[in-house]
């Protein structure tokens, strides 16, 4: 999980690591053949299909193995990353999965690292230098050493949103070709607070900074600057400065990133206010107007920007690892399980103490989870009608890159993916009475989740801060924004023993003490009963698609519904 992906909700959705010592014995075990236990078998409602039980011992062994020092923190394009890929391939073969990408278990993912050299780069507005880091942070997605443009008119485009289903177009009646667009973070619904407008305080995909840069490129802009405001962004300027400076990993795209604007970036609110004043514009009045229907983009007087970016470019390669259980009747239709295998790796600059960020929770748990769910289906007597695909994606911590590559260059047609489940960072815990749905109210996959949860008297809980847009910050969004219905759920906080107070206390322990730290390590003392229960529920959700002919869709009004409808025509 990147910070932008999940850190802030970890306090609500995750529980303690328990003791944090590394288990050398368990980490070096190989998983045993699963043994079925009749009392743990699951019969699908309205069906004679009986799923084999999820083997908790194998789940534990896989987490321990993946998070051992042997894998050196599983960084992409590293020795530990290569060893992780080899292990995943071998484990998929051992379980009995067929290669997911033709005759290979791997989908190679070309990566490129771009580093802006601040001393040789600059952003000028109205002839004045905007200080890199303290006043603005900027970069380019164009994979070249030199990027520049001059005399680009500034235009305030409100939220920078084109959303046909909401009857909204901030670019209506204006041509921004070659111009620098300046825009607000989040979306008009958040600003209005009206639940009937967009999604009210809950962020839509149009509120994501990634979308805003992509839309600016579609509109032909030369540069795109988002005005940072802490509340709607859900993080402070320190996060902007820490996250978007230094080396930035991206995909090596066929066009070399030429389809993106020359400069993408964030600018401090007080700097933006000064620019509005220079242009003779009222910042507060325009930001208030931007959330109202009928808003029109505004030229920012005579203000122009010019920019020069000097980059260091370094190329590498990683891979997604995919295995398939072919369907018996409709093998060209797929149910997808996905988890990212990468973590932060080995820090060579550490001279004392632990230099390995093992990522036991983040995301050895999810990766082990999809392997264990695959094992459930392989050990069930009845094979699914549809195919099941299990993909461990790379480079999530670098910006969801492995899943983005999977979406851009899919192994199977996206229209043939019935639905998908993403598993990211499930903490070891005792059972809970709830399960948290991130992005609650998105798709009919939630109906299948509720069906499986109801059987165990578990209730669905929406994530606590939908205005922060966590649904758009993990790997499933790469496929969702292409139209594929995706579910992102996490174990709950209302513990069977101790209730919500106990769950929140344990969650805070992980967030404060272990998230993205070397102490995110496996312990043999972990209680995996809650995690195993969640994985069993996720298996049942997939089974409801794999053994039937249903095609879940996004709910009416969802921003991805039209894409799916067109995809399935």
3-state secondary structure 54-109: CCHHHHHHHHHHHCCHHHCCCCCCCHHHHHHHHHHHHHHHHHCCEECECCECEEEE
Copy the structure tokens of residue 478: 């790469």
Of the candidates 350, 357, 491, the residue with the CA atom closest to the CA atom of residue 13: 491
CA-CA-CA-CA dihedral for 39, 43, 49, 51, to nearest 10: -50
The answer to which of 222-236, 402-416, 510-524 has the lowest mean pLDDT is 510-524
Taking residues 551-567, what's their average pLDDT?
A: 96
pLDDT at 107 over 50: yes
- pLDDT band for 32, please (50, 70, 90 cuts): low
Give the per-residue pLDDT at 427.
85
Q: Which residues contact 238 (CB under 8 A, 6 or more apart)?
A: none
Taking residues 495-520, what's their average pLDDT?
A: 83
Q: Is 183 exposed, middle or buried (0-12, 13-18, 19+ CB in 10 A)?
A: buried
CB 63 within 8 A of CB 55: no
Domain ranges of the chain: 3-110+318-567, 113-313
pLDDT at 497 over 60: yes
How many residues are recorded in the chain?
569
Taking residues 127-143, what's their average pLDDT?
A: 96
- pLDDT band for 1, please (50, 70, 90 cuts): low
Sign of the torsion angle spanned by Cα atoms 546, 549, 550, 551 = positive
User: Regarding the domain delimited by 3-110+318-567, which CATH topology (the fold level of the hierarchy) does it fall under?
Assistant: Aminopeptidase (3.40.630)
CB 37 within 8 A of CB 52: no
Taking residues 392-413, what's their average pLDDT?
A: 95
Taking residues 300-325, what's their average pLDDT?
A: 97
Q: Which helix (H) or strand (E) holds 51?
A: strand 50-51
Taking residues 406-419, what's their average pLDDT?
A: 97
The answer to which of 82-91, 259-268, 282-291, 428-437 has the lowest mean pLDDT is 428-437
Give the per-residue pLDDT at 44.
74
Give the per-residue pLDDT at 39.
42
Indicate the CATH number for domain 113-313.
Answer: 3.50.30.30
Query: What own/partner pairs with CB < 8 Å and gap ≥ 24 does 92-95 have?
Result: 92/321, 92/323, 92/371, 92/374, 92/390, 93/323, 94/30, 94/31, 95/323, 95/371, 95/374, 95/375, 95/378
Distance CA 176, CA 431 (A): 54
Copy the structure tokens of residue 358: 């093992």
Give the per-residue pLDDT at 27.
40
> pLDDT digit string (tens) for 10-25?
434 433 333 333 333 4
Give the per-residue pLDDT at 291.
96
- pLDDT band for 46, please (50, 70, 90 cuts): low
Neighbours of 474 (CB within 10 A): 30
Of the candidates 114, 85, 141, 181, the residue with the CA atom closest to the CA atom of residue 392: 85
Give the per-residue pLDDT at 28.
42
Give the per-residue pLDDT at 509.
79
Give the per-residue pLDDT at 18.
34
Fill in the DSSP letter of residue 165: G
Q: Which helix (H) or strand (E) holds 381?
A: none
pLDDT at 181 over 80: yes
Give the per-residue pLDDT at 73.
95
Average pLDDT score, the chain? 90
Higher pLDDT, 518 or 98: 98
Sign of the torsion angle spanned by Cα atoms 426, 393, 115, 349 = positive
Taking residues 147-168, what's their average pLDDT?
A: 96
Please give the model's pTM, rounded to 2 decimal places. Answer: 0.85
The answer to which of 144-153, 243-252, 511-520 has the lowest mean pLDDT is 511-520
- Omega within 30 of 0 (cis) for the link into 363: yes
> pLDDT digit string (tens) for 359-400?
999 999 999 999 999 999 999 999 999 999 999 999 998 889
> pLDDT digit string (tens) for 461-476?
998 888 888 899 899 9
Q: What percentage of residues in the chain have a pLDDT greater than 70?
A: 93
pLDDT at 160 over 80: yes
Give the per-residue pLDDT at 350.
76
Apex 118 CA angle, 113 and 120, nearest 5: 105
């Amino acid at each position: 999980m990147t910070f932008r992906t999940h850190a802030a909700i970890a306090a609500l959705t995750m529980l303690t690591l328990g003791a944090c010592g590394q288990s050398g014995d368990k980490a070096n075990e190989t998983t045993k053949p699963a043994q079925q236990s009749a009392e743990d078998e699951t019969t699908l409602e309205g069906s004679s299909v009986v799923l084999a039980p999820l083997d908790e011992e194998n789940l534990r062994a896989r987490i321990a193995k993946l998070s051992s020092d042997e894998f050196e923190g599983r960084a992409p394009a590293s020795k530990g990353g290569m060893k992780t890929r080899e292990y995943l391939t071998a484990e998929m073969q051992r379980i009995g999965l067929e290669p997911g990408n033709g005759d290979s278990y791997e989908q190679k993912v070309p990566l490129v690292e771009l580093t802006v050299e601040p001393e040789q780069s600059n952003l000028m507005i109205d002839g004045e230098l905007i200080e890199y880091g303290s006043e603005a942070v900027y970069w380019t997605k164009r994979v070249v050493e030199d990027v520049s443009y001059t005399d680009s008119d500034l235009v305030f485009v409100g939220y920078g949103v084109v959303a046909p289903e909401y009857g909204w177009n901030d670019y209506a009646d204006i041509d921004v070709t070659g111009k620098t667009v300046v825009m607000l973070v989040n979306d008009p619904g958040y600003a209005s607070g009206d639940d009937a407008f967009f999604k009210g305080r809950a962020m839509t995909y149009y509120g994501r900074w990634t979308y805003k840069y992509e839309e600016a490129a579609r509109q032909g802009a030369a540069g795109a600057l988002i005005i940072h405001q802490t509340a709607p962004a859900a993080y402070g300027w320190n996060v902007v400065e820490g996250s978007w400076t230094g080396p930035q990993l991206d995909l090596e795209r066929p066009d070399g990133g030429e389809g993106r604007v020359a400069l993408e970036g964030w600018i401090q609110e007080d700097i933006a206010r000064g620019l509005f004043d220079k242009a003779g514009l009222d910042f507060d009045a325009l930001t208030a107007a931007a959330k109202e229907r009928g808003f029109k983009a505004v030229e920012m007087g005579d203000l122009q920007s010019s920019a020069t970016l000097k980059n260091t470019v370094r190329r590498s390669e990683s891979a997604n690892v995919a295995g398939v259980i072919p369907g018996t009747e409709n093998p060209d239709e797929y149910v997808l399980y996905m988890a990212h295998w990468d973590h932060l790796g080995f820090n060579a600059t550490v001279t004392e103490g632990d230099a390995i960020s093992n990522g036991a929770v983040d995301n050895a748990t999810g990766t082990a989870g999809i392997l264990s769910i695959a094992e459930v289906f392989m050990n069930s007597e009845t094979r699914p009608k549809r195919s099941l695909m299990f993909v461990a994606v790379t480079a999530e911590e670098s910006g969801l890159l492995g899943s983005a590559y999977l979406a851009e260059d899919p192994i199977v047609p996206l229209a043939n993916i019935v639905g998908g489940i993403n598993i990211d960072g499930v903490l070891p815990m005792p059972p809970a009475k709830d399960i948290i749905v991130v992005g609650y109210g998105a798709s009919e996959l939630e109906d299948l989740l509720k069906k499986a949860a109801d059987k165990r008297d578990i209730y669905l809980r929406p994530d606590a801060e939908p205005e922060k847009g966590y649904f758009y910050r993990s790997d499933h969004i790469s496929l969702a924004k292409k139209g594929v219905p995706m579910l992102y759920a996490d174990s709950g906080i209302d513990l069977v023993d101790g209730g919500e107070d106990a769950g929140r206390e344990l969650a805070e322990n992980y967030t404060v003490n272990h998230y993205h730290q070397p102490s995110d390590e496996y312990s043999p003392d972990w209680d995996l009963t809650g995690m195993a229960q969640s994985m069993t529920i996720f298996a049942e959700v997939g089974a409801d698609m794999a053994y039937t002919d249903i095609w879940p869709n996004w709910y009416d009004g969802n921003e991805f519904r039209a894409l799916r409808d067109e995809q399935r025509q």
